[in-house]
Every structure is written in C-alpha cells, then in structure tokens.
Amino acid sequence: MFVVLVYDVNASKDARISKICKPYLLHIQNSVFMGDITLGNLRILLDKLKGEIDRESEVLDIFILRSRKTVRRITIGESRVRHENVI
Amino acid sequence: MFVVLVYDVNASKDARISKICKPYLLHIQNSVFMGDITLGNLRILLDKLKGEIDRESEVLDIFILRSRKTVRRITIGESRVRHENVI
C-alpha cells in the first residue's frame, strides 16, 4: 500500500518523529513523508508514533491508498528536504 | 476528485496560502488541506498557488486521487485547526 503521512507536533519533537518515520518512508517536506509500505510495517510505525503524539495538542494524519498507481502528485517548488522522489 | 494538499513555505506566507486554499478545501492541520474538488476548481487553485510559491525555497505538494473512496485516513491526536472532518 501507499501512504502519505503528515504531522503537526511541538517543534522540540519534530526531529524525533522524523527519525521514527525515515526507515519506513521518504521524507518529502518538513513534516511530510510518503511511500510504499507493507501492512506489517505500517502497524509497527503506527505503534511507535502513537507513543509519541500528545493527543491533546498534536496531530498526525496518515492517508492510506491501495497503491501509488491510484494517486497523482503535483509538486510546485523545491523541498528543503534533500532526498525526494517524484511519483 | 479528492486531494491532499501540503506545503512548506516561509512563515510570513503561511496565512496567505491558507487563505487561498480555504474556499476550496478543508483545513485539517497547520499546512495541510484535504477534500473533494472539481478539476476546474483544482486548476484555478493551482494557478493562484503557483503565483505565490518561491520555487527555490518553498514547496507545495498536491496528491490527487480519483475519489475519497480510494483513501483511508487515520488520525492520531487532535488538530489545532478547529474545523476538521473525518473520512
């Protein structure tokens, strides 16, 4: 499956959330990741992230699609995150 | 069609980009919008946004799906943006 993961967390926690996501997904924008992932890895990633997010004041959204074939990505500009990939 | 729009722009421009997106999409996180949109409105929105994004240092990604039925959204936590909708 293909996912787009976006989060809005306390600035002090940004790096930690990013570090958790990097082994699983591609970092495309400041607090945005995307990529193909297995259901098993998605569960592991979600479990790790659930333990980090303050449910009162922070939020993380994951959009799950059956495959990257069902999505088209348009990018305007240049991400400050160096390694990015274009669908 | 259904879109997820995410951007990483200079803080001084955040409010302006958000103001442009609000009539078309639902504001779910700090710099994240989502929702159903017609192709015509998507073109209008894209044209407005293209004029705002500094292509050297800012980025905006739009993920376009045929319909919201092809995506599942998981949310952890609470968005600081008041009006949100759950798919």
Contact B79 A59 (CB under 8 A): yes
Task: List per-block mean pLDDT (blocks of 10 residues) for chain A, which spans 87 residues.
Answer: 96 95 95 96 96 94 94 90 53
CA distance A46 to chain B (A): 9
Residue B60 sits at the chain A interface (C-beta within 8 Å): yes
Residue B61 sits at the chain A interface (C-beta within 8 Å): yes
pLDDT at residue B14 is higher than 60? yes
d(CA B24, CA B19): 10
Structure confidence at residue A86 (pLDDT): 44
Query: Residue A64 is nearest to which of B29, B71, B79, comparing CB atoms?
Result: B71
d(CA A17, CA B48): 32
d(CA A51, CA A43): 13
- What's the Cα-to-Cα distance from B73 to each of A73, A76, A80, B66, B87, rounded to whole Å? 17, 24, 26, 15, 6
Please tell me whether the interface predicted TM-score (ipTM) of this complex is above 0.85.
yes
The domains found in chain A, sorted by start residue, are: 2-70 (3.30.70.240)
Residue A20 sits at the chain B interface (C-beta within 8 Å): no
